Each structure stands twice: as C-alpha cells, then as structure tokens.
Amino acid sequence: MGAQHTVTEVAAAVDATRLAADGVSVGYGARTVIEDLDVAIPSGVVTTIIGPNGCGKSTLLRTLSRLLKPTRGTVVLDGDDIGRLRTRDVAKKLGLLPQAPVAPEGLTVADLVARGRHPHQSWLRQWSSDDAAVVERALAMTGVSDLGDRPVDSLSGGQRQRVWISMTLAQGTDLLLLDEPTTYLDLAHAIDVLDLVDDLHESGCTVVMVLHDLNLATRYSDNLVVMKEGSILAQGHPRDVITAELLHEAFGLRAMVIDDPVGDRPLIVPIGRAHVQLP
C-alpha cells in the first residue's frame, strides 16, 4: 500500500466532516478491491476521487453511498453507521447519481425530477404541495424548467445530465455523490455540467465525484483523493497534490505540471513518445 502523503488542509473549507469511511474493506466475491481504507469527506467543498482504471474509485463511491456493503469497517454519515440507518433515511441525506442512468422511454423531465421526492413520500402522501414546490425549485436550479414536458430521451447529453442532477436535488439533500457524471459527454457539455456542480457547491452542497479526466478534476475540485490499487495515495488541494511525481506513481504517467493559463490550478500535460518536443 502506498504511503499517505501529507494531508493538507483544504482552503476555505469547513472542517466538519459529514461522510467518512473508517477502516473499510470492500470486495466482490473473493476479490477484495479496497482494503482497510480511511477517508474523510470535508463538508461544503467539492471532493473528487481520481485514479487509474481498476483502482477502486467507483467502488469507493458506491460504498460511501451504501450501494455496496463493506466486508469490514464502517461508513459514517452524520455520526451514524450508514449500514444501520434505514434506506429511506439515507436517501434523505445523501443524493446519488450513478454512472449512465437510464430513463424509460417517454418519461418526461418533470416526472423524472419528481421521482426524486420519493424518500419524502409515502403510500398516502404521494404528491404533496411541498413536493411540487421542491421539484419546481430543483428544475429552476439546473435551468431546465422549460423542458418540463419534454421526454428525457429526446434531450442532448448535457441537458440529460442536468435533469438527472435536478432529480438528486429534488431529494432535498445537501450531500451529492456523482459517479462519472461527465464521462459520456463531449467537452462543452462536460464543462457545462461541472459549472453547474460548482454552482451547487456555492449554494452550500457538499459534492463527491468520481472523474476520469484529470484536468477537469483538477480545475473543479477543492479536495482531491488520489487512489491506487484500492488505497489512498494522496489527498488534499489540487495545488498540493498534483505533482509530476504523484502522477507517475499513481498512473504510471509521464507528465509535466504547469500553471493553468486561464485558472489558478495546475494543468497536466501528458508526455508520450510521439509528437512531443521537450524543452
């Protein structure tokens, strides 16, 4: 297991932690993917988990959101063992957007977002006026109010992701977990979605994402968790964590790290064999 690099304090962050994993081991059948891992997700910031294929980042996110049960250790949400809480109670605190979600053909945007109210509803109380108000607000927050009657499958990729995020917002949680929300989107739409995620974070949400694209992760997160082979290699603000050495250790990647010309974060420039002219 890789040594833990220094955990740096995250700038402008609240030091409260709502979600944490404590000595967690997770596996599929006989195969252990994550072994004895500790991580604390700071509140009020955007945390992104990155790492090479198969390092367990999706597994970690799924464990944090209770989709997977750890074989050892606990996940703690607001001080409680998440495994002991009722599923509905977890759903009221934690909103999850899985990879590549699929909506049935013909389902409208309004209906999909309305489903997000499910944890707050019951058999007798299936559509209260509160529900309607929250859904309207959720639609407005992601800017898809005018798409309410459109079928979800007729929208573009970026709009669809915004609608799904709207659904998780309708759950009324301020803790959002997003599993690769931009992987199937072209760059313009990916930026669009991540800008929206940043807006949400500005309004007080805590966000945990798994991202594939290193540069997007660097630009849009305040806290990076770098994983390799089932354990955490480094954690902290991108400026402190992203170095050429780390990239080589975690990804086997030769790269140069420079200052992003349009931002205040590091920019990763990969170095391969072809078409590179090293200074």
Q: Tell me which long-range contacts 254-258 makes (C-beta under 8 A, separation of at least 24).
A: none
CA 207-210-216 angle, to 5 degrees, is 90
Please give the residues from 164 up to 193 whose contact with another protein meets the rule CB under 8 A: 168, 171, 188, 191-192
- 92 is an interface residue for another protein by CB under 8 A: yes
- 118 is an interface residue for another protein by CB under 8 A: yes
Give least dist CB 189 to another protein, A: 9
- 125 is an interface residue for another protein by CB under 8 A: yes
- 248 is an interface residue for another protein by CB under 8 A: no
CB environment 182-204: b (16+ within 10 A), e (fewer): beebeeebbbbbbebbbebbeee
Taking the C-alpha atoms of residue 48 and residue 233, their distance in angstroms, rounded to an integer, is 13
Stretch that binds another protein, among 28-36, 106-114, 220-228, 246-254 (CB under 8 A): 106-114
- 132 is an interface residue for another protein by CB under 8 A: yes
C-alpha radius of gyration, the chain, whole number: 19
Taking the C-alpha atoms of residue 166 and residue 171, their distance in angstroms, rounded to an integer, is 9
Give least dist CB 9 to another protein, A: 29
CA 109-111-115 angle, to 5 degrees, is 115
Stretch that binds another protein, among 122-130, 200-208, 246-254, 264-272 (CB under 8 A): 122-130
Taking the C-alpha atoms of residue 30 and residue 242, their distance in angstroms, rounded to an integer, is 34
- 278 is an interface residue for another protein by CB under 8 A: no
Sign of CA dihedral 164, 165, 166, 169: positive
Stretch that binds another protein, among 22-30, 150-158, 225-233, 234-242 (CB under 8 A): 150-158
Among 148, 229, 239, 260, binds another protein (CB under 8 A): 148
- 96 is an interface residue for another protein by CB under 8 A: yes
- 65 is an interface residue for another protein by CB under 8 A: yes
Here the tokens at position 171 are 């759950």
Among 42, 70, 73, 119, binds another protein (CB under 8 A): 119
- 135 is an interface residue for another protein by CB under 8 A: yes
CB environment 39-68: b (16+ within 10 A), e (fewer): bbbbbbbbbbbbbeeebbbbbbbbbbbbeb
Among 47, 159, 161, 218, binds another protein (CB under 8 A): 159
Residue 146 half-sphere exposure, CB side, CA atoms within 13 Å? 1
Q: Which residues bind another protein (CB under 8 A)?
A: 62, 65-67, 86-92, 94-98, 101-107, 110-112, 114-116, 118-119, 121-129, 131-132, 135-136, 140, 142-143, 145-149, 151, 155-156, 159, 168, 171, 188, 191-192, 195-196, 199, 273
